[in-house]
Structure 1
């Protein structure tokens, strides 16, 4: 009985990551959980993606680039793509980051397991889910470009091209997620403080570069 009570006490809470992330990440190390949290994360992203897909004026975003007779087909394809991306994107992101963290862990002789890292990344994904939901709701309520988060520098400094893409990726929830990643790598993977922050910042920089390249390609009409 006491063992069961202790197990329940050590059970990490996905939503408690918002107000007590360090405590939850320590629990993840002791009691890594995957399927329940992953199901909740997936549902949150589906809800946010559906809201984004069916409140975005795709015709306006496309402008005059698409002939009128093809517009309905393109709109439908775009909305479906948004939904599929909302489902697969988080899972693929969790898998990739877990694999990279595991390779680094092997290099530095950390005994962290794949399950622990996968669970950690699933719990960290709550920040991205909240960011997408909050920004989608705000844009739906007051209007704006759905491609630019209102919590980003891109919404304050309207610049196109590479710089614009990077500014759009520098936003509150991304920074919050980076900080939690550094804490998680210390608490769950046992990385040193310097290594944990270094890895998290490198991930952030890579994300900014990709966002910048995306902005540059969009500016070129690619």
Structure 2
């Protein structure tokens, strides 16, 4: 059931009776209000979920060779440091299996992430007055998640063509600064100041208004708070793990 607030917001956009897959992807970028209003009436899960899994798999395939080489170096160096007898051939064998496992598990990890993200956001946005009914939110979050995966795909293309294994997204502020110069905490914040990540959060706010019928003010405030909290937690974890690594290396 759509409340009065939701009805008013629906009236802001012309909702087509049908929307093909190309129109849905296009509206995700150029008219998200129309897509999310359409999703409220006719939620679809299979198509965006397939796109998510395919794009994430492509991103993983683009970087598998570079990360395989990194796995080999890490395994060999760790084995020697621990006094083991690991050979280069053994390290390569382990790395091959790790690479295969990473690629094979990517779609499953993506699907699990989509599922958990939807459930968490649904619970949080219920506080902002969004309507009940999980199916349309699963559809909405699946479409929004395509944005993040496109960012990962572009990052994968960057690694593939340059051979530079950059840990942070090439489209993030962190790619332009040095962690040693600004400190790990600030660097962690900069990793979240990323084009596709910011657009994802903007779409969450719009989505819970036009798909969920939440009030604009409440939806946008909750979205902003989630972004700030996630950014601070991520930065704190990066700073803590980096400091811990320095202690053990010392």
Query: TM-score, normalized by length of structure 1?
Result: 0.83
Q: 1:26 aligns with which of 29, 37, 40?
A: 37
Contact 2:62 2:156 survives alignment (8 Å): yes
- Misfit runs of 4+, over 4 Å: 9-12, 105-109
Query: TM-score, normalized by length of structure 2?
Result: 0.74
Q: 1:65 aligns with which of 73, 78, 98?
A: 78
Match of 1:198 in 2: 221
Q: RMSD value over aligned CA atoms?
A: 2.7
Match of 2:120 in 1: 100
Between stretches 18-27 and 201-210, larger displacement belongs to: 201-210
Gaps of 5+ in 1: 1-5
C-alpha displacement at 1:182, in angstroms?
Answer: 0.9
Q: 1:50 aligns with which of 55, 58, 61?
A: 61
Number of aligned positions between the proteins: 217
Gaps of 5+ in 2: 1-15, 81-85
**Larger RCO: 1 or 2 (CA < 8 Å, sep 6+):** 2
Distance 1:204 1:105 in 2: 13
Distance 2:242 2:146 in 1: 28
SS in structure 1 of the partner of residue 91 of structure 2: helix
Contact 1:112 1:188 survives alignment (8 Å): no
Higher Cα radius of gyration: 2
Match of 1:111 in 2: 131
Match of 1:143 in 2: 163
Deviations 1:8-52 (A, max 9, x none): 248872354122222111111111000122112111111111212
Distance 2:228 2:119 in 1: 18
Contact 1:102 1:117 survives alignment (8 Å): yes
Distance 2:49 2:229 in 1: 25
Deviations 1:148-176 (A, max 9, x none): 11111111111053332332222111011
Distance 2:99 2:185 in 1: 26
Contact 1:152 1:169 survives alignment (8 Å): yes
Match of 2:238 in 1: 214
